[in-house]
Structure 1
Amino acid sequence: MSDRIDYGNLMHAAMRELIRKVLDRVATAGLPGEHHFFITFETTHPEVELADWLRDRYPEEMTVVIQHWFEHLEVNLDGFSVTLNFGDRPEPLYIPFDAIRTFVDPSVEFGLRFETHQAEDEDDDGDDGPGHRHVPAEAQHGEAEVVSLDKFRK
């Protein structure tokens, strides 16, 4: 038994449970009001299921939007599956909760960000303390379209 309480992992587990409960409610009752979600996840996670062409286009991470059109949202204890529209091409996805990096509902300015253990353990330059980390500009912009959430702020 460890002589320390691992607050980081406990917090991540609680945040993933919150996401599970929110998505479960949406699967049952639909999206209420103006709520919608931007979910960024690691496409390299071994349990992520997505079409080969999407994995080729987004080899490291991908952001999906659950808003106007989605089908077959099913939630279990480990993750969720959903069919989303990519340019009039419906594609099924399975995203384990462990693969999620960010979960944002811009309609209420709510967001969660999961730091990786690697980022938490690094003590090199770019670290401004807990929860603050500078990412080089070239690492921020991959092939995926980057959506600035500032435009959704009221």
Structure 2
Amino acid sequence: MSNSNQTIDYGNLMHKAMRGLIYEVLTDIAANGLPGAHHFFVTFDTLHPDVELADWLSDRYPGEMTIVVQHQYENLTVTDQGFGITLSFGDSPEPLYVPYDAIKTFVDPSVEFGLRFETNDDDDDEEGDAPEAPMDVMAEPEDAPKKDADVVSLDQFRK
């Protein structure tokens, strides 16, 4: 006899699968480098408790930041919880740590691929609330920043 109050949490299952995809992609990049024209825009929540970044970066990007993983990065380390990377901001190398839970979007514009993690802003998770869209495929932004990226508007990715 099945319990009618239990539901399959597809939203969380999709997020787990999407984080696994990011883990696999970054693990391969850490081992073999970026192939061809591939590069990534990763937007993440700078207020997440496990994010590690310089104070001046968190001051400059309160709430959300987009980084570009392309030519100028070092020390990419990948774990099952998140990734660490050193990026250049101007001439200043800065180490960052981004847990997968903090990622809002992960986009590879070279192949028009993207993931968006929908977040439910209500902290009181009521049962039966399904996320609106756990995953969207996004197209290449028209004015994609090439270097010292500012936050990329999600509207650029909507078809």
User: Same fold by TM (over 0.5)?
Assistant: yes
Partner of 1:33: 36
What's the TM-score once normalised by structure 2's chain length?
0.76
Stretches of structure 1 lacking an aligned partner (at least 5 in a row): 122-128, 133-143
The Cα shift of 1:146 comes to: 3.9
What's the TM-score once normalised by structure 1's chain length?
0.79
1:50 corresponds to which of 43, 53, 66: 53
Q: Is the 8 A contact 2:42 2:68 kept in 1?
A: yes
Stretches of structure 2 lacking an aligned partner (at least 5 in a row): 125-130, 135-148
The Cα shift of 1:149 comes to: 8.6
The Cα shift of 1:148 comes to: 6.3
Give the % identical residues. 66
The Cα shift of 1:29 comes to: 0.2
Partner of 1:130: 132
**Cα deviation 1:38-95 (Å, max 9, x = unaligned):** 0000000000000000000011010000001100000001000000000111000000
How is 1:5-154 mapped onto 2 (pairs within 5 angstroms)? 5-118=8-121, 130-131=132-133, 145-147=150-152
Residue identity opposite 2:9 in structure 1: D
SS in 1 for 2:104: strand
RMSD value over aligned CA atoms?
A: 2.7
Mark the CA change 1:64 to 1:112 in structure 2 (over 3 Å): closer, same or farther. Answer: same
The Cα shift of 1:22 comes to: 0.2
SS in 2 for 1:11: helix
Q: Is the 8 A contact 2:64 2:151 kept in 1?
A: no
